[in-house]
Chains A and B, each alone.
Chain A
Amino acid sequence: KAGVTQTPRYLIKTRGQQVTLSCSPISGHRSVSWYQQTPGQGLQFLFEYFSETQRNKGNFPGRFSGRQFSNSRSEMNVSTLELGDSALYLCASSLAPGGDSPLHFGNGTRLTVT
C-alpha cells in the first residue's frame, strides 16, 4: 500500500504570496490532518478533515485554510505569507477521525518564506 504522499517536497515563497500544499492519503483512509512542525514548537495541529468536512481546527489565523475532496485528497492553503510561516508542513491520514486512530504521516512539505 502506498503511503501518504505530499507535494511538493520543497517550496520557496516570498512574503505576501500564497501557497497551496497537497496531500494524498493512504488508500481507504478518509481522515486527513495537517500539522506545522518547527524547531522547539514540535507539531502544532492545524486542522482535520473527514468526509470533506472540517471536523477540528487548531489555533492558527484565518490565513491558513484547507479542504478535502471526495477522493479524500486534501489541500492546505496559506495566504499572505509571513516569515514565521517557514516550517515543515506535515499531512497525516487515518482510517477514522479523532484522536485514537493511529496517524500515518507523509514526509512533509518544507516551506521557506523569504
Chain B
Amino acid sequence: QQQVKQSPQSLIVQKGGISIINCAYENTAFDYFPWYQQFPGKGPALLIAIRPDVSEKKEGRFTISFNKSAKQFSLHIMDSQPGDSATYFCAASRGGYQKVTFGTGTKLQVIP
C-alpha cells in the first residue's frame, strides 16, 4: 500500500528532446507528490511538487501531469539539456507524521 513504482530505471534522451518519467502509487490517502533531482555526489533537491486537486503543474521546462483516477503521475522535461542529466526520484506522502515514500529513481542522461 505504501509503494511508489517508478519507470524507467534509466533514460537516454537527445538534447532538445522530451524526457518522460512515470510513477504509480497505491495508497489513495497520498496527497502530496514531489519530484526530487539528484546530481552525483549531492543529496536530492526538491524540483517540483503537485497536490491531487490539480491535473498539471508547470515550472519552466518541468511539468508534472497527475491522473488521480489511474493513480499515476509523471514528470516531463521539455527541451532536455545535458545539465538535466541526473537521477530523478518521484515521491508520495500524506500530511501529519507520515513518512515520504520514494520511487526507486530514474537515471537520465541527455546527450548532445
Which chain A residues have a beta carbon within 8 Å of chain B's beta carbons?
Answer: 4, 33, 35, 40-45, 48, 50, 55-56, 58, 90, 92, 97-100, 102-108
B contacts with A, residue count (CB < 8 A): 27
Which chain B residues have a beta carbon within 8 Å of chain A's beta carbons?
Answer: 6, 31-32, 34, 36, 41-46, 49, 89, 92-105
Cβ–Cβ contact A98 & B94, under 8 A = yes
Instruction: Pick 21 A–B contacts, CB within 8 A, sort by A.
Output: A35-B102, A42-B89, A42-B103, A42-B105, A43-B44, A43-B89, A45-B100, A48-B97, A50-B97, A56-B97, A56-B98, A98-B94, A99-B96, A99-B98, A100-B32, A102-B34, A103-B34, A103-B100, A104-B46, A107-B42, A107-B43
In the complex, A56→B100 CA distance in Å?
A: 10
In the complex, A14→B93 CA distance in Å?
A: 36
Residues of B contacting A4 with CB < 8 Å? 43
Given that A40-B104, A45-B99 are contacting pairs, would A102 and B46 also be in contact in the complex, using a CB cutoff of 8 Å? Answer: yes
